[in-house]
Structure 1
Amino acid sequence: MKNPVVAKLPAAAVEHLQAAVRLRTESYRSGNVADTSQFLGFHRLLQRTYPLLHRTLRRQVVGGYSLCYEWAGQEPSAAPVIVLAHYDVVPVDTATLPRWKYPPFGAVQAHDTIWGRGTTDNKANAVALLEAVESALLRGQQPRRTVFLVLGHDEEVGGMHGARQVAQLLQRRGIRPAFVLDEGGYITRRKVPGMVGRPVALIGTAEKGYLSLQLSASLAGGHAAMPEKESAVGLVAGAVASLQQQEFAAQLTPAMQDFATHVGPHMPFGQRVAFANQWLLRPLILRAYRATAAGAAAVRTTIAPTVLQAGMKDNVIPASASAIVNLRLLPTTTAAGTLAQVRAWLPDQRVQVRPVGPVSEPTAAASTETLGYRLIDQQLHQLVPGVVTTPFLFVAQSDARHFQPLTTDIYRFSPTTDPQGMHGENECVSVASFTQTYCYFAGILRAL
């Protein structure tokens, strides 16, 4: 039998997603928009594609390129809802181009899949959300609560000029939302041990913190034919190697305790017993999590070298060298405490350590007993037969963290199934997942 949900996708929605993906809205760490024509072109695309939305909702441009739409509700006194997506994308590494099946900004549709940078992160969410609003307006619908739609332009570099400024703007207006929805977890049939083959919806109720540290050293340089025993390169390389041998303590944070409570009853017998007796078997649970990279990220602060810089010529010993390591902070920790621990671990104090870029503290876990969580849960059970919904700790970053001063009821979830290629090669989204995303947002709006 044909899935009745598929027929609900607006006829031109896939073409609209393709048009959005073809715009190279790449974000760079400098925070500056590299090609303003692409970002402004995205604005114009939305105005052409969703005319009723632009006639009905109040539109405000924030930080130069981020968009905030206000959809007035029938009951102004009811707490509003904020729904986020972002339309910037990470740049494509030119060295990977030969390994892409299709041009990264070609938005080619092949094998019932749309291929291209931004398809899953996060233009499918942005387009599906606007399609759902336009469809609701065509039916003459109006939400009971006011709904704010926020499309960020710099999420991939911290959201400091986009989502953060929108959050500050709404805070100055005294907005206290009932809940906030953003990207985050997803539906997986592969990632949860013991549940392979069964759909599990990972709803992020908390988010890890973010901290990048620069390790640097300076020593006399010189000719490579007459090297000294020590060099700046050697000091920094030693520091990086030393840090990779260290591990932060593993913990089951409240969000992961909630995950165990929700998923445990659906696990095979042995795992079900362990999750039901966390107080007794916690060491065994943590050991199982540490066995994989994804599992370890959920129970400890992680540290990853990401940038190495030194030297200009193969026969010259550089006088300085540096590296950047990126840490994702477990809830219950702080950036200051983590920095102190890294400094204590370094074998040579001649290596200087300082934070670089934006720093974000980890967030508290949102409740699963709220309107926002219940709406997500209800929509997923209607859309995905046999799905197991569960809170979990979102190990990456989202724009949602900027809205913590407004509410702690923040939920991070993207209704795609096992997305592929995010931040890497051959990013793509299936038409089925895109349809599912549209139906999810349409259902949320209908419920509101």
Structure 2
Amino acid sequence: MMQSFETRIVGFIVVGFFIVFSVFWSFPEESGAAVKCPETKPHRPSNFDSHKATLSKILHSKEFRNASVMKLQAAIRTRTEVYDDDPISVEEDLTYWSKFEKFEQLLKSTFPLFYSKTTLHKVNYHGLVYIWEGSDLYLKPLVLMAHQDTVPVSNITLSQWEHDPFSGDYDGENVYGRGIADCKDQLIGLLEAAEELINNGFSPRRTIIYSFGFDEEVGGPRNKNAEWLEAKYGKDSMYAILDEGGVNLDTIQGVKMSVPGTAEKGYMDLKIILETPGGHSSIPPKHTSIGMIGEMIVELERTEFPTYFTEKNPAFWEYVCVAEHSPDMDSSVKKSILSAGHNQKANEVARKYIDVDLGKGFVVKSTRALDIITGGVKANALPEYVELTVNVRIAMEETVDTVTRRVLATIEPVIDRYHLGLALDLDGRQEIKPRKPAGNCLVKVVQAVPPAPLTPTRGNHWNIFAGTIHHVYEDLVAPDSTGLIVAPGIGSGNTDTKYYWNLTEHIYRYRPGLLPGVYSKEHGINEYIPMDSHLHLIAFYYEYILSVDETDD
């Protein structure tokens, strides 16, 4: 009897062990520890004290402020709009592109000290590459970027502008005008910072390169600056690259954040082209090509792309930092975000929270926007040709191919319903379904760029960059303030940095200032920046250049 009891006890223990082991083995992702927000500390150059007076002048001098306003105004008044249908070849219309010659002449007359210390190379006529030679040619150069061009202003909207879009009006607080937020303030601020460094006796140890494209707002097909730099210096030849982008000084769920872009989503324009026999409108079929493509539109807008919350996307760390520091976020959501890296259920909660509750789904998934549709030529003639243009921004976890295949799968039921042929043009034409008398559909990828490589956010490069943000905003702009979190983020738009991937893995998309671009109405009516924001930008670049110059590779 006693032996039987002991046997049963041993049996229970063995069974219990196997149950625990089975649970553990079945759910290995549950065993990980919660992730932590990466911490960065303020960083300032060792010779800060000798530059402190200049930084104070930049941020607080009325005389400097007013002079800076005038430089911004001159840049806005020199119009540099570009359009989607501009000639691809500059030689095709040299007169049209001569507006950028006028802009470069403005820079030359406004910044004589900068021109005296740098060598200008014009790439493809109007790409500007200034080289400020350093004393130590073994150090990799630092590249600072902006673009000269702006989006246009529609004449239809002129009456809605409170300030003429090309006047550069200044009301004592804000400067207004097309391109001031995207991104003439950055370009002018870079040169202002350089001239203040020169005035203070600075001579670089590390070469500094200023690279300004002239067609970023239309995708940059004429931008050859990166190719020129790679031919001159070679691959992986740059210390770091800074361009526009990112979000600075935003409050997210009660957390004061600076979120520079350390990657960008991919970009794709595709066309869905439908051709049908046509005919007289008095004897129409049940569905014209416009009706058929209308059904495709419904399916494309109804079908959501899948969401992701992984370390492949730098926004993962942004929301980890928010969860760790937020006084407002629900505790259960916090726990889910911090456990999302190893717990699938928590990951689902985190994705839903970002996508649905915060309405920031574009951060965690690919997006599609149906932007242009054309078709038909006459009221009494059936449309023979209809074309839909779709713009896609590709999530870090996806590729051009996976997104294209998802679009095909979405419209395929409509193709089958109306007995249409289907072909794909992605690096060559591929027939998916044979051509049919009823009509044929072509999905054509016009241009595509995959998601950008991730910028490392560990090590000296990141520590100096993020630390400078901390120091400028916690010690210079708002002395003795604390609580700013600098976290990596994802760029949902695309910048000229897509051409620079071969030159360094350290690419930062960041525009210092008080407002994220969307709040400054960039590309919109009444575009503006607070003048204080521009002065912060100058101070940041001034101090960052000093810190990078004293570090070794």
Same-fold call, TM cutoff 0.5: yes
Structure 1 position 427, deviation (Å): 1.1
242-251 or 296-305, larger mean C-alpha shift: 242-251
Structure 2 equivalent of residue 433 of structure 1: 533
Structure 2 equivalent of residue 330 of structure 1: 395
Structure 1 equivalent of residue 502 of structure 2: 405
Structure 2 equivalent of residue 353 of structure 1: 443
375-384 or 246-255, larger mean C-alpha shift: 375-384
User: Given that residues 308 and 397 in structure 2 are in contact (C-alpha distance below 8 angstroms), is that contact kept between their aligned partners in structure 1?
Assistant: no
Please state which structure has a larger fraction of its residues in strand. Answer: 1
User: Given that residues 301 and 328 in structure 1 are in contact (C-alpha distance below 8 angstroms), is that contact kept between their aligned partners in structure 2?
Assistant: yes
2:152 matches 1:95: no
Paired with 1:108 and 1:405, the residues of 2 have a C-alpha distance of 40
Structure 1 position 144, deviation (Å): 2.0
Structure 1 equivalent of residue 193 of structure 2: 132
Structure 1 position 109, deviation (Å): 1.3
Change (3 A) 1:324 1:178: same
| TM-score, L = length of structure 2 | 0.75
Change (3 A) 1:156 1:244: same
Aligned pairs (5 A) from 1:142-161? 142-161=203-222
Matched to 2:355, the amino acid is R
2:351 matches 1:286: yes
2:171 matches 1:171: no
| TM-score, L = length of structure 1 | 0.92
Change (3 A) 1:207 1:75: same
Structure 1 position 59, deviation (Å): 0.6
User: Given that residues 233 and 310 in structure 1 are in contact (C-alpha distance below 8 angstroms), is that contact kept between their aligned partners in structure 2?
Assistant: yes
Paired with 1:313 and 1:98, the residues of 2 have a C-alpha distance of 33
Aligned pairs (5 A) from 1:30-429? 30-32=85-87, 35-110=96-171, 112-162=173-223, 165-175=224-234, 176-190=237-251, 192=252, 194-195=253-254, 198-254=255-311, 255-268=314-327, 270=331, 271-278=333-340, 279-280=342-343, 281-291=346-356, 295-346=360-411, 347-348=414-415, 349=422, 350-356=440-446, 358-385=447-474, 386-416=483-513, 417-419=515-517, 420-429=520-529
Structure 1 equivalent of residue 81 of structure 2: 26
Matched to 2:285, the amino acid is E
Structure 1 equivalent of residue 72 of structure 2: 17
Secondary structure of residue in 2 paired with 1:355: strand
Paired with 1:206 and 1:69, the residues of 2 have a C-alpha distance of 25
Q: CA RMSD in A?
A: 2.1
Paired with 1:292 and 1:246, the residues of 2 have a C-alpha distance of 19
Paired with 1:305 and 1:292, the residues of 2 have a C-alpha distance of 24
Secondary structure of residue in 2 paired with 1:127: helix
Matched to 2:227, the amino acid is Q
115-124 or 216-225, larger mean C-alpha shift: 216-225
Listed one character per residue, the Cα deviations across residues 206-225 of structure 1 (whole Å, up to 9, x for unaligned) are 11000011111122334444
Structure 1 position 294, deviation (Å): 5.8
Unaligned runs of 5+ residues in structure 2 are 1-54, 416-421, 423-439, 475-482
Larger radius of gyration: 2
Matched to 1:332, the amino acid is E
Secondary structure of residue in 2 paired with 1:364: coil
Paired with 1:383 and 1:315, the residues of 2 have a C-alpha distance of 66
Paired with 2:187 and 2:256, the residues of 1 have a C-alpha distance of 23
Paired with 2:134 and 2:318, the residues of 1 have a C-alpha distance of 34
User: Given that residues 271 and 388 in structure 2 are in contact (C-alpha distance below 8 angstroms), is that contact kept between their aligned partners in structure 1?
Assistant: yes
Change (3 A) 1:306 1:276: same
Listed one character per residue, the Cα deviations across residues 311-339 of structure 1 (whole Å, up to 9, x for unaligned) are 34444433211110000001132112221
- How many residues are aligned here? 439
Give identity over the alignment, percent: 27
